[in-house]
Amino acid sequence: MAIVINGTEYPLPDDPRVSLLDLLREQLQLTGTKLGCNQGGCGACTVIVDGARVLSCLTLAVQADGREVRTIEGMVAADGGLHPLQQAFIEHDGFQCGYCTPGQICSAIAMVAEYRRGDPSYVTADLAEGPKGTTRQEIRERMSGNLCRCGAHNGIVDAIEELLAGEAP
């Protein structure tokens, strides 16, 4: 029983009650991932498991056995500096208090992959065709699972738009 987090393998907790979020924060001191509502209502705890964004507060750590987890600590650019989206958040002032930011960034990075794969959203006009181009409405709907109480939404969407306009990885 093991889990890979940002490329490093860790044993799973013995107690199945431990959430993936608590494993990260309390046992591995990976405190970049934030505890918000702890009930699936805010998105602050978003991490990427096997490429899919999920809520770590509602994931039992044992359920992630054998899976690969990426957290905000694993988001780095090729040169070891900030991930391009982190840089874009700074440039577009995509946060005030910063508490929702790790969740927003993990969510957005996985969302870009969903978008490029052609997955539809509730606001996609043509379901069969999938999303056409990138629109701010599409970004907004797809990011609606990440709340922001400071109201940095415009800057967050600007930053993600910039990431989407860039080269596909």
Partner 1 sequence: MRSFDYHCATNPAEALSIAGAAPARYLGGGTNLVDLMRQNIEAPAALVDVSRLPAVIEETPNGGLLIGAAVRNNVVAAHPSVRTRYPVLSRALLAGASAQIRNMATVGGNILQRTRCAYFYDAAGSHCNKREPGSGCDAIGGFNRYHAIFGASEHCIATHPSDMCVALAALDAVVHVKGPGGERDVPLLDLHRLPGDRPDIETVLQPGELITGVALSPSAAAAHSAYRKVRDRSSYAFALISVAAGLEVVDGRIADIRIALGGVAAKPWRALRAEEMLLGTDPAKERFLAALDAELAAAKTFDGNAFKVELAKRTVAAVLCELAGVNP
Partner 2 sequence: MSVRITIDGEGHATVASAAHEMGMGTTTVQRQHSADRLGLPLESVTVKIGDTSLPFGSFAGGSSQTASLGAAINAASVKLAGELLRMAGNDTPLAGLRANELEFADAGLRKIGDASRHESFKSILKRAARNEISVTGESGTPLEMLKFSIHSRSAIFCELRVSDVTGEIRIDRLVGSFDCGRILNPKTAASQFRGGMIMGLGMALTEETLLDERSGRIMSASITDYHVPVHLDVPDIDVLWTDIPDPRTPMGARGIGEIGVTGVAAAVANAAFNATGRRVRELPLTPDKFLLD
Binding residues for partner 2, rule: CB under 8 A, are: 36-37, 39-42, 93, 95-98, 123, 136-137, 139-141, 143-157
Contact pick of 2, 27, 52, 97 for partner 1 (by CB under 8 A)? 52
Are 3 and 64 in contact by the 8 Å Cβ rule? The answer is: yes
CA angle 63, 110, 73 (to 5 degrees): 75
CB of residue 49 vs partner 2: minimum separation in angstroms? Answer: 22
Q: Cα–Cα distances in Å, from 4 out to 9, 45, 49, 69?
A: 4, 17, 10, 6
Q: Give the 3-state secondary structure percentages of the chain, helix then strand then coil, rounded to 5.
A: 35, 15, 50
Phi/psi of residue 104, each to 5°? Answer: -60, -45
Residue 98 binding partner per list partner 2, partner 1, none, with a CB distance cut-off of 5 to 8 Å that depends on partner kind = partner 2
CB of residue 119 vs partner 1: minimum separation in angstroms? Answer: 4
CB of residue 136 vs partner 2: minimum separation in angstroms? Answer: 7
Q: Which two structure tokens, joined as six digits, stand for 40?
A: 């699936």
Which is closer to partner 2, CB of 68 or CB of 141?
141
CA distance 68 to 6: 8
What residue ranges bind partner 1 (CB under 8 A)? Answer: 15-17, 19, 38-40, 43, 46, 52-55, 58-60, 62-63, 65, 107, 111, 114, 117, 119-122, 124, 127-128, 140-142, 144-146
